[in-house]
Amino acid sequence: MKHQTGTPSATSLPRAPRDSSNRRMTKYFIMMAIRVVCFILMVVITPYGWQTAIFAVGAVFLPYVAVVLANVGDDVHEPDAESPLQALTAEPPRPAEPLPQRPNVIEVRETRPE
């Protein structure tokens, strides 16, 4: 694990577990929908032949593949985000120009209505 110095940027944080779980469930449901379609086509398409065998293989083995893919999770390594502060040039900071000094006096003027 890489040790970061300073404050981590929001783009370098890992994905939330909830997002990963939602992504895996979506993949699982899509594969199960494909399995249902394979099963229906296996029964509906006549005459039975090599197409039926392909749909049968899909209907039988897709649950296994779906469970394996759902349990694997997201092991894809995303490139580390770089802090925008690192992209800045290394110029020394200029000293701030002093603000013009005003006296710290509050002046109240009253005018008479005419």
55 burial level (CB within 10 Å; 0-12, 13-18, 19+) = buried
Three-class secondary structure of residue 56 per DSSP? helix
Q: Give φ, ψ of 30 to 5 degrees.
A: -65, -45
Tens digits of per-residue pLDDT, 94-109? 777 777 777 777 778 8
- The 10s digit of each residue's pLDDT in 59-95 is 999 989 888 887 776 555 555 666 666 655 566 667 7
Q: What pLDDT was estimated at residue 76? A: 56
